[in-house]
Chains A and B, each alone.
Chain A
Amino acid sequence: NAGVTQTPKFQVLKTGQSMTLQCAQDMNHNSMYWYRQDPGMGLRLIYYSASEGTTDKGEVPNGYNVSRLNKREFSLRLESAAPSQTSVYFCASSEEFTSAGYTFGSGTRLTVV
């Protein structure tokens, strides 16, 4: 039972490059989320998908786009990476939008130089 799988685990980008972070869950959860984690700060929500076919902005959406490809997969795209996007990115899922807790992936550590 894999839970939430994120790829890649590590990535280094040059400023201006683009990339897509992949996330897949095998728990048949309806809702999925992308967070970023920066030193000394809590997790901050970038985008979420309450259910298949919907996506909405979270706290810090600027510079990102998302795609809910199907019920299992939710990708995060950086169109033109900036050093301020250096962070650890976590994907999470929950059974329903109002569920109490989320299941998190193990993260993608992204460095933009």
Chain B
Amino acid sequence: GQQLNQSPQSMFIQEGEDVSMNCTSSSIFNTWLWYKQDPGEGPVLLIALYKAGELTSNGRLTAQFGITRKDSFLNISASIPSDVGIYFCAGKFTSGTYKYIFGTGTRLKVLA
């Protein structure tokens, strides 16, 4: 099945640094979602994006729906140790379908 390409696959950063990750697809999506998964837990929705160019923030997190509709970006500002986890993007092709495609994840580790 199709998957989204997320990069980087993993990253180690120092506490206080900003983080950027992205998700790309060969297909056009009409919805992008960003999830965070803590160790031993299920993913939790962080941000939902619904139209090209949309920029949405949730605290220190900011996500953007790429204007080509084939990519999305997530930025975390001033990282803290509790930001550690795996970040997943998910995209949906068209309205009225279940079909969310999930990315392979970006594993973030924050060094205090």
Contact = CB atoms under 8 A, between A and B. Distances in A.
B14 to A, nearest CB: 26
Interface in A35-92: 40-45, 48, 50, 56, 58-60, 90, 92
A84 to B, nearest CB: 15
B98 A40 contact: no
Nearest to B92: A100
Given A44-B1, A58-B98, A97-B98, A104 B104 contact: no
Contacts of B4: 42
B42 A105 contact: yes
Interface residues of A, number: 27
A71 B96 CA distance: 20
A96 B28 CA distance: 23
Contact of A60 (B1, B3, B31, B100): B1
Interface of A: 4, 31, 33, 40-45, 48, 50, 56, 58-60, 90, 92, 97-98, 100-107
Interface of B: 1, 3-4, 31, 33, 40-45, 48, 50, 88, 90, 95-96, 98-105
